[in-house]
């Protein structure tokens, strides 16, 4: 659980108003918003061994909760709960295991977003906005879910989300002061941008930027294609939003789709971040029989390819070649197409 030491260390630094972003931390640099370090201060009060134990137990509980909420998120449950949960486990189990082993923060992030979507389903917009803001504090990618809040056209949710985002930016002020808080955010941006390029050719990176870098090398063309593909995916999301009027609970699929897209759009989208697509896998398992025949088969193959591509089975050389070819990214794009098709067919 080495990764759990990152927020723990940041929490202790925040409590002492020390710099959060340090190049000397190397691979274990803190890359989250300053607000996350402030919110994590209670974790930093604990001895590291105790904090790791709390983090692990909490992560296991969150994994169970994520499975539960993902099933409850469905507009209508058409398949048995056991089948839906097993489907998610088959596709994502290796990422769940990696999350627990590393002590990462993807489970809290996924739980916050899924909880927000479920709150929208039960028309608790204030709670939904609060949880979206919390997800942004945990990982800035949560900002991609803000359009779901806006699309509901509920003033309480929109205002709460706006105020919440402002408070996130101001949260370090009591500890660091105004100028110190500005410096923190500038340091955060520099850290995120400067550590992106070296990670693109990492075999475990499943982002679009990494996919093209693996295929074409670190070239201008690969950068252009990655940007164009990202814009294309976002255009697809916009089309999904435009087709929401005839759907009783459109936010569930929209949020699930955005969660699936996050590892693809983020240049530092590690493969294990795909665990946040748990609601997307549950959606696809629930509505699989409504997809066109060929797409149904390809979707199943893509899901099984993601889940069963295990280092221990394939061996070092085959697994390295598999990841180096960006096949996981391609499979994720297939799942994106399947979810989009559900909306185009007005199924969910």
Q: 177 and 169 in contact (C-beta within 8 Å)?
A: no
**pLDDT, tens only, 168-222:** 999 999 999 999 999 999 999 988 888 777 778 888 899 999 999 999 988 999 9
Q: Is 64 a residue whose pLDDT tops 90?
A: yes
Q: 10 and 36 in contact (C-beta within 8 Å)?
A: yes
Whole-structure pTM over 0.75, yes or no? yes
Predicted confidence band of residue 239 (pLDDT cuts 50, 70, 90):
very high
C-alpha neighbours within 13 Å on the C-beta side of residue 157: 22
Q: Is 321 a residue whose pLDDT tops 80?
A: yes
- Who has greater pLDDT, 116 or 246? 116
Q: 278 and 110 in contact (C-beta within 8 Å)?
A: yes
Residue extents of the structural domains in the chain: 2-344
Query: Whole-angstrom Cα distance, residue 292 to residue 289?
Result: 8
Q: Is 267 a residue whose pLDDT tops 90?
A: no
Q: 73 and 122 in contact (C-beta within 8 Å)?
A: no
Q: Is 248 a residue whose pLDDT tops 80?
A: yes
């Amino acid at each position: 659980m080495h990764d759990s030491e990152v927020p723990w260390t940041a929490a202790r630094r925040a409590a002492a108003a020390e710099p959060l972003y340090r190049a000397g931390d190397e691979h274990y640099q803190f890359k989250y918003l300053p607000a996350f370090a402030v919110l994590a201060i209670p974790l930093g009060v604990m001895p590291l061994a105790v904090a790791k134990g709390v983090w692990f137990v909490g992560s296991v509980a969150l994994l169970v909760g994520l499975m539960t909420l993902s099933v409850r998120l469905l507009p209508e449950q058409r398949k048995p709960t056991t089948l839906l949960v097993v489907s998610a486990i088959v596709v994502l189990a290796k990422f769940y295991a990696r999350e627990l082993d590393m002590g990462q923060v993807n489970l809290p992030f996924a739980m916050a977003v899924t909880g927000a979507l479920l709150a929208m389903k039960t028309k608790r917009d204030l709670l939904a906005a609060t949880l979206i803001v919390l997800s942004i504090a945990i990982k800035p990618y949560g900002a991609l879910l803000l359009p779901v809040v806006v699309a509901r056209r509920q003033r309480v949710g929109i205002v709460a989300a706006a105020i919440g985002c402002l408070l996130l930016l101001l949260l370090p002020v009591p500890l660091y002061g105004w100028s110190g808080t500005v410096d923190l955010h500038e340091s955060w941006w520099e850290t995120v941008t400067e550590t992106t390029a070296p990670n693109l050719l990492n075999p475990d990176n499943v982002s679009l930027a990494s996919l093209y870098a693996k295929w074409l090398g670190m070239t201008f063309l690969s950068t252009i294609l990655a940007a164009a593909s990202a814009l294309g995916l976002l255009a697809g999301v916009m089309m999904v939003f435009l087709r929401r009027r005839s759907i009783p609970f459109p936010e569930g699929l929209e949020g699930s789709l955005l969660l699936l897209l996050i590892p693809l759009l983020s240049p530092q989208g590690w493969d294990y971040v795909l665990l946040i697509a748990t609601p997307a896998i549950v959606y696809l398992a629930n509505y699989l029989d409504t997809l066109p025949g060929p797409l149904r088969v390809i979707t199943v193959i893509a899901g099984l390819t993601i889940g069963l591509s295990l280092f221990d089975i394939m061996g070092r050389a085959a697994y390295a070649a598999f990841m180096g070819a960006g096949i996981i990214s391609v499979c994720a794009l297939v799942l994106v197409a399947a979810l989009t098709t559900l909306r185009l067919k007005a199924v969910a």
